[in-house]
Amino acid sequence: MKLRAQVLFLLSLIVLTSCGSSEINSRNREPAKFVVEDSVGTNGELVAIQSDNLNAAGYDATSMVMTIQFKNGALYEYYGVSPELWVSFVAAQPHPWSKVGYPRLVQAGIAYKRLR
Protein backbone atom coordinates (compact mmCIF):
# COMPACT_ATOMS: atom_id res chain seq x y z
CA MET A 1 0.00 0.00 0.00
CA LYS A 2 2.91 2.35 0.76
CA LEU A 3 4.27 1.94 -2.79
CA ARG A 4 0.84 2.74 -4.23
CA ALA A 5 0.66 5.94 -2.18
CA GLN A 6 4.12 6.95 -3.42
CA VAL A 7 3.11 6.23 -7.01
CA LEU A 8 -0.04 8.31 -6.66
CA PHE A 9 1.94 11.17 -5.19
CA LEU A 10 4.64 11.10 -7.89
CA LEU A 11 2.20 10.85 -10.76
CA SER A 12 0.11 13.63 -9.30
CA LEU A 13 3.18 15.84 -9.24
CA ILE A 14 3.96 15.03 -12.87
CA VAL A 15 0.46 15.85 -14.01
CA LEU A 16 0.30 19.04 -12.04
CA THR A 17 3.65 20.29 -13.31
CA SER A 18 3.12 19.20 -16.92
CA CYS A 19 -0.29 20.76 -17.43
CA GLY A 20 -0.03 23.70 -15.10
CA SER A 21 -3.12 22.57 -13.24
CA SER A 22 -3.50 22.89 -9.53
CA GLU A 23 -6.89 21.19 -9.32
CA ILE A 24 -7.63 20.07 -5.79
CA ASN A 25 -10.27 17.57 -4.80
CA SER A 26 -12.35 19.69 -2.43
CA ARG A 27 -13.56 16.69 -0.45
CA ASN A 28 -10.19 15.47 0.81
CA ARG A 29 -7.86 18.31 -0.31
CA GLU A 30 -5.53 15.95 -2.21
CA PRO A 31 -4.06 16.73 -5.64
CA ALA A 32 -5.94 15.20 -8.56
CA LYS A 33 -4.63 11.70 -9.26
CA PHE A 34 -3.41 10.43 -12.62
CA VAL A 35 -3.97 6.80 -11.72
CA VAL A 36 -7.01 4.76 -12.61
CA GLU A 37 -7.98 2.07 -10.10
CA ASP A 38 -4.85 -0.04 -9.44
CA SER A 39 -3.27 0.92 -12.76
CA VAL A 40 -0.03 2.88 -12.86
CA GLY A 41 1.02 5.12 -15.72
CA THR A 42 -0.24 7.72 -18.12
CA ASN A 43 -2.34 5.50 -20.40
CA GLY A 44 0.41 5.94 -22.97
CA GLU A 45 0.19 9.72 -23.10
CA LEU A 46 3.45 11.63 -22.85
CA VAL A 47 3.94 13.88 -19.83
CA ALA A 48 6.74 16.37 -19.22
CA ILE A 49 9.78 14.92 -17.48
CA GLN A 50 12.34 16.96 -15.57
CA SER A 51 15.61 15.91 -17.19
CA ASP A 52 18.70 17.19 -18.96
CA ASN A 53 18.17 14.99 -22.03
CA LEU A 54 14.47 13.99 -22.01
CA ASN A 55 11.39 16.04 -22.88
CA ALA A 56 8.64 13.61 -21.98
CA ALA A 57 7.73 10.04 -21.15
CA GLY A 58 4.63 7.93 -20.89
CA TYR A 59 3.61 4.48 -19.76
CA ASP A 60 0.70 2.23 -20.65
CA ALA A 61 0.28 -0.36 -17.90
CA THR A 62 -2.07 -2.51 -20.00
CA SER A 63 0.44 -3.11 -22.80
CA MET A 64 3.50 -2.49 -20.57
CA VAL A 65 4.89 -0.04 -23.14
CA MET A 66 6.99 2.92 -22.05
CA THR A 67 7.51 5.77 -24.49
CA ILE A 68 10.40 8.21 -24.16
CA GLN A 69 10.94 11.44 -26.10
CA PHE A 70 14.45 12.86 -26.03
CA LYS A 71 15.24 16.57 -26.33
CA ASN A 72 16.73 15.93 -29.80
CA GLY A 73 13.28 14.78 -30.97
CA ALA A 74 14.00 11.04 -31.01
CA LEU A 75 11.03 8.98 -29.83
CA TYR A 76 11.39 5.40 -28.55
CA GLU A 77 9.01 2.72 -27.32
CA TYR A 78 10.23 0.08 -24.86
CA TYR A 79 8.26 -3.16 -24.53
CA GLY A 80 7.60 -5.36 -21.50
CA VAL A 81 8.37 -2.62 -18.99
CA SER A 82 7.14 -3.39 -15.47
CA PRO A 83 5.10 -0.85 -13.52
CA GLU A 84 7.87 -0.83 -10.90
CA LEU A 85 10.41 0.27 -13.52
CA TRP A 86 8.10 3.13 -14.59
CA VAL A 87 7.69 4.25 -10.97
CA SER A 88 11.47 4.12 -10.45
CA PHE A 89 11.99 6.11 -13.65
CA VAL A 90 9.59 8.87 -12.57
CA ALA A 91 11.04 8.96 -9.07
CA ALA A 92 14.58 9.41 -10.46
CA GLN A 93 13.88 12.91 -11.78
CA PRO A 94 15.86 15.07 -12.57
CA HIS A 95 18.11 12.26 -13.86
CA PRO A 96 15.70 9.49 -14.90
CA TRP A 97 17.63 8.40 -17.97
CA SER A 98 21.07 8.03 -16.40
CA LYS A 99 19.80 6.57 -13.12
CA VAL A 100 17.06 4.24 -14.41
CA GLY A 101 16.43 4.44 -18.16
CA TYR A 102 19.83 3.59 -19.55
CA PRO A 103 20.82 0.93 -17.00
CA ARG A 104 17.42 -0.77 -16.73
CA LEU A 105 16.20 -0.41 -20.32
CA VAL A 106 19.20 -0.25 -22.65
CA GLN A 107 21.83 -2.19 -20.71
CA ALA A 108 19.25 -4.76 -19.60
CA GLY A 109 18.36 -5.45 -23.24
CA ILE A 110 14.68 -4.47 -23.08
CA ALA A 111 13.09 -4.68 -26.55
CA TYR A 112 12.55 -1.29 -28.16
CA LYS A 113 11.65 0.47 -31.40
CA ARG A 114 12.66 3.92 -32.55
CA LEU A 115 9.55 5.72 -33.82
CA ARG A 116 11.34 8.85 -35.09
pLDDT (tens digit, 9 = 90+) per residue, 52-81? 999 999 999 999 999 999 999 999 999 999
Buried b / exposed e along 65-77 (16+ C-beta atoms within 10 A) = bbbbbeeeeeebb
- Is residue 105 over pLDDT 50? yes
pLDDT at 40: 87
- Is residue 89 over pLDDT 50? yes
Q: Tell me the residue range of the domain where 44 lies.
A: 2-114
Strand order, beta sheet including 47-48 = 47-48, 54-60, 65-70, 75-79, 112-114
pLDDT in tens, 4-49: 444 445 554 444 444 443 333 334 444 333 343 456 899 999 999 9
- The number of distinct structural domains making up the chain is 1
pTM of the prediction? 0.67
